[in-house]
Amino acid sequence: QSALTQPASVSGSPGQSITISCTGTSNDIGNYNYVSWYQQHPGKAPKLIIYEVSNRPSGVSNRFSGSKSGNTASLTISGLQAQDEADYYCCSYTTSGTLLGGGTKLTVL
């Protein structure tokens, strides 16, 4: 199965905002509001930070926000902090199962 398309890396300075895109097709992101985002620090299990496009689980900072337009979903992190440096993965429901993105490495400069 093809993965959702994410940039390999993004970077930003503390306090700045960054956006990570996730491009799919009309068979996944474009047809369902079941897009989720995960943050993964080295050696740790992934952590859900956004689900159903724009919902945040309890305890997740409101600096994280999600949106979707057509076949592309986006994760925005505002007020960048050093601890935001991690890998980020998008995920979408499809009728064939669950599709994950290739992952984006966020570097906080």
Partner 1 sequence: QVQLVQSGAEVKKPGASVKVSCKASGYNFTSYAIHWVRQAPGQRLEWMGWSNTGNGNTKYSQDFQGRVTLTRDTSASTAYLELSSLRYEDMAVYYCAREVYRFDVSGSLLFWGQGTLVTVSS
Q: How far is the CB of 1 from partner 1 (least distance, A)?
A: 5
**Separation between Cα atoms, residue 93 and residue 109, nearest integer Å:** 33
**β-sheet bridge partners, residue 97:** 94
**Separation between Cα atoms, residue 86 and residue 97, nearest integer Å:** 26
Q: How far is the CB of 47 from partner 1 (least distance, A)?
A: 8
Binding of partner 1 by 101 (CB under 8 A): yes
**Separation between Cα atoms, residue 67 and residue 72, nearest integer Å:** 9
Cβ pair 58, 40 in contact under 8 A: no
Binding positions for partner 1, 26-85, rule CB under 8 A: 32, 34, 36, 38, 40, 45-48, 51-52, 57
- Give the interface size with partner 1 as a residue count (CB under 8 A): 26
Binding of partner 1 by 22 (CB under 8 A): no
Binding of partner 1 by 91 (CB under 8 A): yes
Amino acid at 79: G
**β-sheet bridge partners, residue 90:** 37
Task: Name the site residues for partner 1 (rule: CB under 8 A).
Answer: 1, 3, 32, 34, 36, 38, 40, 45-48, 51-52, 57, 89, 91-93, 96-103
